[in-house]
Amino acid sequence: MLQAIKKTARSSIIYGLGNISTKLIGIVLMPLYTNTNILTVEDFGVLGVVDVTIQVLVALLGLSLYQAYFRWYWDRKYMSDRKSIFFTLFAMLALIGGLLVAVGGFTSSEISTVLFHSIDYSRVLFLMLISVVLQVLAQLPLSLMRLEERPGFYTTTNITRLFVTLVLTVLFITRLDRGLEGIYEAQILGNLFFFAITSTYIFRSSVFTLKLMVLKEMLEYSVPLTVASVSGILLATLDRYVLNYKATLLDVGIYTTAFRFANTVRVFVVHSLQLAVAPTIFKLMDHPNNKAIYSRIMTYFAVLVIYASLVLSIFGAEILDLFVTDKIYHKALFIIPILSLGILLSTIKDVAINGLNIVKKTKIVSVIVPLVATFHLGLSYLIIPAFGVYGAAVASAISQSIFLLVVLYFAQKYYPIPYEYKRIVVPFSIALVMLVIGININFSSVLVNVLLKLGITVLFPLILWLIPFFKTDERQWVVGGFNRIMHLLNR
């Protein structure tokens, strides 16, 4: 069993390098984004709202077809049609994207007025729509790279896209004074460069035949997932919209700052693992020991997120000092741990929901998520006016906990898996105690603070090793890996 997990772990490391390519820009550029001489407080607040709008539109426009693609790719009935299915999906997404851009060209001023009470951001919104379409189209060849187990190619193309986008963004907003428009112009050019270097791969992966009946079947599978996906993203992003209407753009900026750093755990750990695990989940459907593997996957996901969130939250002050230029955004420090809790709950939910996907009970998810998102919206409207950004973070964590419980109930009903709940609660409890200690370390010496916090982060895995947390095969795996590293170092 560990062999399958070890192979997934190796792929996750490589996929992780590629996955950060489009996400890392938001962190690397934070010193520029939070510099009020480059972007005003209002501009940074608008950036926060537009960025979450991109997430919603990417999920909506993509129709969760890449998830259906994973399911149909491994279906023996359609193995000979893989290239024509790829072309069919690409053509459909391109058609829908073209229509979206055309409509956006006529309505961007009205949308800008609704969101920001001004038409000043209409061109920003139009550029955002073009960027969304290109991102959605890019998902399909990237999904194929994962299915074909080509993590090196996946990583190379994404890192190249990162480099082009990053350089152009810095150039546009610092030298050419393009402001918010320059950010999305750089994204568009970065994505176009991605298609330039993958065009041959896309062409070779296509057979120019439309499989409309297969597309119909895939849409029946994916549309409920789309409802769930969009609602899930709204669940994670509605707080920004409510802050925009019920608070100020400064609050949106502070919350966006906290979210970008907390979300690095999702990007570096969760998404990287998911990229490797998603195809494996369906590939193991007929494996005799599949449920035990699924159970271990949830445990490993949860523990890694707990540890990464602990490190991030403890070093929150140092990270903000390093990446955030204007002190006005440093209020984000105490919001990061609350948002990290929501990310942990969301991660566990994402693993649990695979049970429903396997038995094709996706319609259940399409009902659950809108209800939870509606609850989140109502709760946010109730507490954000009184508690501001803290209320937004708490509302998100509460909503994610309800979402997790409901998904677990239905997933276990239709596809019961013996999850190791105790092995998740124990490290969470240890991390919580360490967080309370670590986040209150605030001596006058930065060196003392860093050393003490490093000690806490090292102590966490040590405690897990000393208590009966690891199973025998896991201990053997860890010891074997450590011995191999020592052998390489002693050469």
Contacting residues for 375 by C-beta, under 8 A, at least 6 apart: 399, 402
pLDDT number for residue 95:
93
Instruction: Give the pLDDT confidence of 152-202 residue by residue, as tens digits.
Output: 788 888 888 888 998 999 999 998 989 899 999 999 999 999 999 999 999
Q: Which of 34, 384, 54, 55 is nearest to 244 (CA)?
A: 384
489 in a domain, yes or no?
Answer: no
Higher pLDDT, 412 or 486: 412
Read off the tokens for 447. 């060196």
Q: Which of 369, 377, 378 is nearest to 406 (CA)?
A: 369
Percent pLDDT > 70 in the chain is 92
Q: Is residue 456 part of a domain?
A: yes
Asked if the structure places residue 488 within a domain, the reply is no
Residue labelled with tokens 């006058």:
444
DSSP H stretches of helix in 315-421: 316-323, 336-352, 354-358, 362-414
In a domain, 486, yes or no: no
Residue 232 has pLDDT above 90, yes or no: no
Is 490 a member of any domain?
A: no
Rg from Cα positions in the chain: 23
Domain that holds residue 165: 2-480
Q: What is the pLDDT of residues 245-290, one digit of tens each?
A: 887 888 888 998 898 888 888 877 777 677 667 667 777 776 777 7
**Angstrom distance (rounded) from CA 332 to CA 392:** 12
Quick one: pLDDT at residue 249? Answer: 82
How many structural domains does the chain have? 1
Evaluate whether residue 163 is within a structural domain: yes
436 pLDDT band, cuts 50/70/90, is very high
134 vs 445, residue with greater confidence = 134
Q: pLDDT at residue 354 above 60?
A: yes
Query: 13-41, pLDDT tens digit by residue?
Result: 555 554 455 556 777 888 888 888 888 88
Encode burial over 10-26: b for 16+ CB neighbours within 10 A, e otherwise: ebbebbbbbbbbbbbbb
